[in-house]
Every structure is written in C-alpha cells, then in structure tokens.
Amino acid sequence: MDVEIIVTGSYDVEGGVALRQHYEKYCLERFSDAPDFSYFQNQLSIFPELFATAARLGQLVTLQMRLDGKLVGLNYSVISDNCLYDYICYRETDCDLEKKALGILAILKNIQWVLQHHQGELYYDLASEFSYKRQFIPDASAHYQQVTMHLEGFFQGKDELAKCC
C-alpha cells in the first residue's frame, strides 16, 4: 500500500505525540554537532505552541501521512495572509520510509493544496537549511528572495527559555 495523506487543520492527531517525540530524539542524536543545532532545538521547543495557536486561528495545515493506517509522518504548515509557511515534517526514521521521501511528498501535497484552495497570488515559504527543500527553489527568479535569519544571543538573559531546549 502507498502512503495515504490526510489534510486537516488539527495539531493533535492520533499517534502524533509519539511520532514528534521520536523524531525530536532522532534529530538530537543525529544533528547535535551541526553548527546551527541550537537554533533548531529552539525551534523544536517553540513549534508546539505555534501550531496549537495556528490551529485555534484556523491557519494550520496538517498533513498526516499514513502507511497501512499507521502514522509515519506529520507535516505542519501555517497559512497567513498570502503565504503558506512550511515548518517541519516529523517522520519515522527507518530506512524503508526514507526511500519514500516523506518531506518531498509533503512539499508536493502542500503545493497541490494551495493551488486547490487559494486564488490569487500566494507564496510558499521553503525557508530551511534542509537540502531537500532547496531543490524546489528556483536558481533565478524575479519573484524569489532568500532571507537568512540568525537569532544568536536572542535567548541570553532568558534563563527559563534557554533551559527548555
């Protein structure tokens, strides 16, 4: 059976807590030596509140990816004004599922969803350091702009926030 994708506006999904925890543990083990890892850790701690708030406001787009009924991926995006911000694809990490490229599948499904549900000018934000997302960004375009942000020092003096990650 192929991966089934269910599009909802809910943050809490059956099996979601376990999947998110598993993926966060995987990232902590695999990417802890990366230069921007502290930024990614901060993002992981902020995401639950961000997505819960977006769900309450009707701005969350959640892709549930299921294989034989089992949740194997969760992609969260937030739509605001004329932009869909693709934040993260939590996923199972076994080798067989990596071949299914759930992150790329999520991007394609999000693009399809945007085209079906929004008229007029709409942007799809692929802000990420992940190479699989960069392949969807055109090399040269009059309508493309890359912005890189760093929050170094942002959490200094905020001990309770800095300790959460």
> Residue 62 sits in a domain of what CATH number?
3.40.630
Whole-angstrom distance, CA of residue 65 vs CA of residue 6: 7
Tokens at 146, concatenated: 């890359």
Helix (H) or strand (E) holding 29: helix 16-31
CA distances from 119 to 6, 21, 85, 106, 115 (A): 22, 36, 17, 21, 7
* CA–CA gap between residue 45 and residue 53 (Å, rounded): 14
Q: What mean pLDDT comes out for the span 5-33?
A: 91
Rounded Cα distance between 103 and 96, Å, is 14
CB neighbour list of residue 1: distance below 8 Å, 6 or more residues apart: 67, 68
- Rounded mean pLDDT of 31-35? 80
Its domain, for residue 83, covers: 4-162
**pTM of the predicted structure, to 2 decimals:** 0.75
Highest mean pLDDT among 8-12, 103-107, 140-144: 8-12
Q: Which residue has the tokens 């009924």?
A: 69
Tally of domains within the chain: 1
Query: What confidence score (pLDDT) does residue 40 get?
Result: 78
**Mean per-residue pLDDT over the chain, rounded:** 78
Residue 32 has a pLDDT of: 81
- The alpha carbon dihedral of 46, 47, 53, 57 has a sign of positive
The mean per-residue pLDDT over the stretch 77-96 comes to: 86
The pLDDT, as a whole number, for residue 73 is 94
DSSP letter assigned to residue 135: T
Strand ranges of the sheet holding 70-80, from the earlier edge strand across to the other edge: 4-8, 60-67, 70-80, 83-91, 123-125
Dihedral pair phi/psi, residue 70, rounded to 5°: -85, 135
